[in-house]
């Protein structure tokens, strides 16, 4: 009780600062209402901590308070970033930034506030005239030679959320040391009076259509099978932006590629931060693709594609051998894209031995097999597309990037963007479907043929939620226990390789090994003799510990698919039993 009373005193004190400080009248009215409410839950939630600017930027529920997304928390983030950019680029006469935003409520307002703050700090600001996909902002940073950029988006989170992603001069999200150093600058902003809100309109330039054209033109340049598109240009493609930014670019990009039969879902073409037709605008969720799949059944489509609100991730559905639409998961999509890109690059004589592709450590190992068998180097990086961008930056001008991806539905089949990109991915996925059709296959049959050639693989992600401080302690103890006593076998198969990214060391067949990564991470991996891979990591943003399980099997022909799938499911259950999850 005493602890609760102290918490209430603390949040009331923080709320009073907002009432007495240089905050706008509407904000003060909302704070007064929170203080007046008999139930103090909302007041405590809004002020019990400061919304943290993490390594991925800001993300939180919108509203007044220090723990909410609003013009003041966004303002502090922008001022902190501006202060850091001044230090890093002190030799540049005119620092410049790009600002983009998605369909979410308040996104436009947050982008305009940020434009004012950057310009008040003397920066040249390129502000998009309307909502745009996140990858286009990454493209614009590079195209316009800017030092940084931001996107106002909360990706696929529910409608109550918004967010703020920061980018460096290569168009990639911030990586060490910049991410931690920007955080330090943001935490130095202690008062609303430290933020320069009065903008210099002369330094703000509105951009839009000209960048769109350059972006679409660049994407057109990555086509690998134009003849296949020409022969299958009327292939039926259902596309939905799920109320988001993809509606601005993706249909136009598909048409520019040569596809003439793009079928939309009119209700979901409506741009809305309330996402009225879905519970969650997340293309990983089957419910988010329901309307598009229903439309595909009506028109007998070949391919269904859905992008998330800021159009950096893609979910797809295709017909199986029974003529039923099935969802393709993130690992399968990444695997097919990798196969298509590697095979076509090789067939076109573009593989010289200096090319590379990138995957994250929790993404299917089949990708590595495909890449290396085609004479291409494969990089493994930590979860998060910023690490793929970091490899691209490191190899720029030395090696040729072909593509990269992760199991969480993010892919990048080109190098002029440095974040996951639903725009170019949709174009290449449609091209891949046309190429498969040209070769007498559906997309599903292409997937089966990859399994026949490289072996069957099934992946499953399991998250165990442990709430509160006791839950956090329990997760930490689980990781300690796994490190102290790693399993010698899993589901009856011997562990042959153990990797601990916490100290960048491991054991392979009884011998100590070193792991070469840019920094440590709280991740463990176990590989067994039968090809099973388990990755274990605590979530950095939620009270949960995540297990990524991949099991392998055999497929001699497409007819073996269902049996291979059932066997793999049994093996996953055995792995879970071994791990006690």
Per-residue model confidence (pLDDT) at position 385: 94
Q: Name the pLDDT band for 1 (thresholds 50, 70, 90).
A: low
Is residue 155 flagged as an active site residue? yes
- Asked if pLDDT for residue 54 goes beyond 90, the answer is no
Q: Name the pLDDT band for 3 (thresholds 50, 70, 90).
A: confident
- Asked if pLDDT for residue 396 goes beyond 70, the answer is yes
Q: Name the pLDDT band for 541 (thresholds 50, 70, 90).
A: low
Q: CATH 3.30.310 spans which residues of the chain?
A: 456-579
553-559: which pairs have CB atoms within 8 A and are 24 or more residues apart? 553/455, 553/456, 553/457, 553/458, 554/455, 554/456, 555/448, 555/451, 555/452, 555/455, 555/456, 556/452, 557/452, 558/321, 558/445, 558/448, 558/449, 558/452
Structure tokens at 232: 């299958």
Q: How much is the average pLDDT of 334-339?
A: 98
Q: Considering Cα of 281, then 243, then 275, then 304, what sign does the dihedral take? A: negative
Q: How much is the average pLDDT of 181-198?
A: 95
- Asked if pLDDT for residue 540 goes beyond 90, the answer is no
Per-residue model confidence (pLDDT) at position 52: 86
Mean confidence (pLDDT) of the chain: 95
The percent of residues in the chain predicted with pLDDT above 70, rounded, is: 99
Backbone angles phi, psi at 513, to 5 degrees: -130, 160
Per-residue model confidence (pLDDT) at position 225: 98
Q: Which of 99-113, 219-233, 373-387, 533-547 has the lowest mean pLDDT?
A: 533-547
- Asked if pLDDT for residue 6 goes beyond 90, the answer is no
119-173, pLDDT tens digit by residue? 999 999 999 999 999 999 999 999 999 999 999 999 988 999 999 999 999 999 9
Return the bridge partners of 126, or none. Answer: 98, 205
Q: Name the pLDDT band for 56 (thresholds 50, 70, 90).
A: confident
Q: Which of 132-141, 176-185, 226-235 has the lowest mean pLDDT?
A: 176-185
Q: How much is the average pLDDT of 503-519?
A: 95
Query: Which of the following CATH numbers is that of domain 49-207: 3.30.230.10, 3.30.930.10, 3.40.120.10, 3.40.50.300?
Result: 3.40.120.10
Residue of 15, 16, 18, 33 lying closest to 193 (CA atoms):
18
Q: Which one is catalytic: 138, 155, 307, 449? A: 155
Q: Name the pLDDT band for 466 (thresholds 50, 70, 90).
A: confident
Contact 165, 309 (CB under 8 A): no
Per-residue model confidence (pLDDT) at position 5: 80
CATH classification (class only), 216-453: alpha beta
Return the bridge partners of 465, or none. Answer: 544
Structure tokens at 115: 């434009």
Domain 456-579 belongs to what architecture? 2-Layer Sandwich (3.30)
281-329, pLDDT tens digit by residue? 999 999 999 999 999 999 999 999 999 999 999 999 999 999 999 999 9
The percent of residues in the chain predicted with pLDDT above 90, rounded, is: 92
What's the rounded Cα separation, in Å, for the pair 16 and 21?
8
Residue entry with tokens 């060490």: 176
Contact 96, 86 (CB under 8 A): no
Q: Name the pLDDT band for 468 (thresholds 50, 70, 90).
A: confident
Q: CATH 3.40.120.10 spans which residues of the chain?
A: 49-207, 216-453
Query: The pTM is what?
Result: 0.95
């Amino acid at each position: 009780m005493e602890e609760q009373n102290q918490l209430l005193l603390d949040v009331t004190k923080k709320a009073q600062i907002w009432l007495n400080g240089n905050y706008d009248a509407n904000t003060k009215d909302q704070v007064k209402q929170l203080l007046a409410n008999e139930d103090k839950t909302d007041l405590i939630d809004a002020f019990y901590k400061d919304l943290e600017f993490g390594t991925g930027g800001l993300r939180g529920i919108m509203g007044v308070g220090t723990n909410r997304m609003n013009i003041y928390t966004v303002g502090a983030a922008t001022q902190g970033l501006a202060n850091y950019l001044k230090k890093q680029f002190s030799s540049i006469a005119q620092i410049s930034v790009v600002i983009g935003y998605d369909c979410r409520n308040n996104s436009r307002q947050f982008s305009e506030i940020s434009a004012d703050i950057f310009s008040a700090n003397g920066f040249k600001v390129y502000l998009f005239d309307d909502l745009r996909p996140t990858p286009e902002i990454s493209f614009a940073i590079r195209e316009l030679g800017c030092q940084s950029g931001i996107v106002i988006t909360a990706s696929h989170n529910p409608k109550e959320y918004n967010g703020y992603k920061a980018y460096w001069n290569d168009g990639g999200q911030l990586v060490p040391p910049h991410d931690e150093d920007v955080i330090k600058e943001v935490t130095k902003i202690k008062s609303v009076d430290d933020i320069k809100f009065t903008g210099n309109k002369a330094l703000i330039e509105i951009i839009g259509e000209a960048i769109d054209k350059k972006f679409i033109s660049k994407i057109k340049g990555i086509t690998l099978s134009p003849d296949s598109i020409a022969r299958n240009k009327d292939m039926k493609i259902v596309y939905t932006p799920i109320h988001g930014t993809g509606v601005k670019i993706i249909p136009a990009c598909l048409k520019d590629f040569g596809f003439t039969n793009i079928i939309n879902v009119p209700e979901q073409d409506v741009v809305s931060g309330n996402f009225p037709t879905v519970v969650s605008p997340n293309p990983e969720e089957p419910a988010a693709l329901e309307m598009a799949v229903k439309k595909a059944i009506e028109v007998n489509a070949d391919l269904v594609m859905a992008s998330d609100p800021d159009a950096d991730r893609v979910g797809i559905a295709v017909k199986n051998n029974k003529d039923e639409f099935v969802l393709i998961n993130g690992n399968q999509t990444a695997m097919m894209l990798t196969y298509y890109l590697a095979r076509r690059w090789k067939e076109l004589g573009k593989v010289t031995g200096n090319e590379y592709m990138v995957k994250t450590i929790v993404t299917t190992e089949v990708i590595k097999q495909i890449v290396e068998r085609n004479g291409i180097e494969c990089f493994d990086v930590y979860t998060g597309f910023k690490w793929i961008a970091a490899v691209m930056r490191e190899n720029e001008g030395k090696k040729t990037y072909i593509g990269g991806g992760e199991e969480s539905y993010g892919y990048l089949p080109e190098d002029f963007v440095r974040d996951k990109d639903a725009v170019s991915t949709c174009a290449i996925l449609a091209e891949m479907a046309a190429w498969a059709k040209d070769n007498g296959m559906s997309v599903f049959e292409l997937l089966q043929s990859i399994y026949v050639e490289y072996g069957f693989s099934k992946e499953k992600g399991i998250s165990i939620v442990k709430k509160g401080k006791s839950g956090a302690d329990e997760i930490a103890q689980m990781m300690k226990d796994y490190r102290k006593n790693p399993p010698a076998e899993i589901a009856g198969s011997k562990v042959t390789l153990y990797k601990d990214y916490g100290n960048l060391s491991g054991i392979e067949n009884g011998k100590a090994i070193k792991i070469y990564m840019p920094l440590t991470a709280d991740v463990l991996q176990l590989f067994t003799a039968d090809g099973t891979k388990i990755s274990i990591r605590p979530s950095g943003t939620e009270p949960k510990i995540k297990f990524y399980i991949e099991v392998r099997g055999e497929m001699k022909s497409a007819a073996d698919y269902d049996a291979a799938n059932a066997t793999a499911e049994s093996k996953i259950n055995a792995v879970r039993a071994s791990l006690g999850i």
